[in-house]
Amino acid sequence: MTKLFDKVFVTGGAGYCGSRLVPQMLDAGYKVTVYDIMYFGSDFLPKNNPNLKIVKGDIRDTALLKEAMKGHEAVVSLACISNDASFELDEALSTSVNLDAFEPMVKAAKEVGIKRFIYASSSSVYGVSDKPDVTEDHPLVPLTLYNKYKGMCEPLLNKHIDSTFTGVTFRPATVCGYAPRQRLDLSVNILTNHAINKGKITVFGGSQLRPNLHVQDYCDAVQMFLRAPTEKIQGEIFNVGYQNLSIMDIALLVRRVVSQEMPGRGELEIVTTPTDDIRSYHINSDKVSRVLGFKPKYTIEDAIRELCRAFARGGLPNSFDDDAYFNVKRLQRLKAA
């Protein structure tokens, strides 16, 4: 698929996924504007690249957002208050960012001539399901406001699509692996950090099934949605996940890989503890493969190895104390509102 657009506007481009995606988009020849509130800074972005523009802005500031979007052809919408714990920290903040700001952003994009809008929803919209395969037409049974609002934004995008404005939603699984703005509050990344730096792996619950997606596959999926033919994606929703594993199976995989990558550490202990987080679901991503030919390539094991190597080279210092790795801790310290 050839490149359809030159100028792409990425909200939340200084976040975990954006920090890996944006440099790769620049390498692919896009001119990219990152629009981000910069809760985690931006020093990890390739600021010396002449094709990168960085705008510090809040997506709730529709006037600034609209002005910054002018001259672009596509929007990749990543900006949000991520994860359930961050949501519970300040419900008003999360509601204003993840729900209230969304439709005004879509309308502003359309008004300034954006041709394609790619929305990153979440596979957590499905909540708990005992179905062996959760496809895109499965009812949304959100357990939290984060899940609920992600699902509520999807029809708000589709309400505005027409022959001049293409909208597509993808529901990524829980992302894992290394990125320049690292998160260590996601399941695979949490377990790997504990294994390497605490010598033991604490598992909350263990039986819950979770779909996972390597951050590189996430980045590749976004670029694929930028290149995909309009008629194949207009108004569509796509699950994007790879391996569905229980938390305990992930812990066992972490123990094996860390032992291989960092021999001499002795036997890594796995400790289980009860949890209130009962989300369990098995997503099916056949549609994105069938319709668009997209197949994830990177495994959970690849993600763990990547993190091991980042730790080994000193790339993730103070991995329990620095709030840069933890969304909730950073938002608390900044008193974000």
pLDDT tens, N- to C-terminus, the chain (337 residues)? 688 999 999 999 999 999 999 999 999 999 999 999 999 999 999 999 999 999 999 999 999 999 999 999 999 999 999 977 777 788 999 999 999 999 999 999 999 999 999 999 999 999 888 888 999 999 999 888 999 999 999 999 999 999 999 999 999 999 999 999 999 999 999 999 999 999 999 998 888 888 999 999 999 999 999 999 999 999 999 999 999 999 999 999 999 999 999 998 888 999 999 988 777 789 999 999 999 999 999 999 999 999 999 999 999 999 999 999 999 999 999 999 8
Q: What is the pLDDT of residue 128?
A: 84
Q: Would 233 be classed as within a structural domain?
A: yes
Whether residue 265 is contained in a domain is answered as no
φ/ψ of residue 182, rounded to 5: -75, 140
**Structural domain boundaries enclosing 222:** 7-245+275-334
Q: What is the pLDDT of residue 157?
A: 98
pLDDT of residue 277: 74
pLDDT confidence of residue 201 = 96
Q: Does residue 1 lie in a domain region?
A: no
Q: Roughly what angle, to the nearest 10 degrees, separates helices 215-227 and 16-27? A: 50
Type of residue numbered 306: E
**Structural domain includes residue 253:** no
Amino acid 1: pLDDT? 65
Tokens standing for 333?
A: 């310290």
Question: Structurally, how many domains does the chain consist of?
Answer: 1
CATH number of residue 290's parent domain: 3.40.50.720
Q: Is residue 257 domain-resident? A: no
Q: How far apart are CA 245 and CA 204, in angstroms?
A: 14
C-alpha span between 166 and 228 (Å, rounded) = 11
pLDDT at 247: 92
Domain for residue 35, yes or no? yes
Tokens 């377990």, residue? 191
Burial class (CB in 10 A: 0-12, 13-18, 19+), 76: buried
Helices (H), 273-336: 286-292, 300-312, 327-334
What integer pLDDT is reported at residue 262 of this predicted model? 93
Nearest to 168 by CA among 87, 60, 287, 282: 287
Q: Is the distance from CB of 55 to CB of 31 less than 8 angstroms?
A: no
pLDDT value of residue 42: 97
Given a contact cutoff of 8 angstroms between Cβ atoms, the answer to whether 96 and 50 are in contact is: no
Q: What is the pLDDT of residues 267-307, one digit of tens each?
A: 899 999 998 877 778 999 999 999 999 999 999 999 999 99
- pTM attached to this predicted model: 0.97
DSSP 20-45: HHHHHHHHTT-EEEEEE--TT-STTS
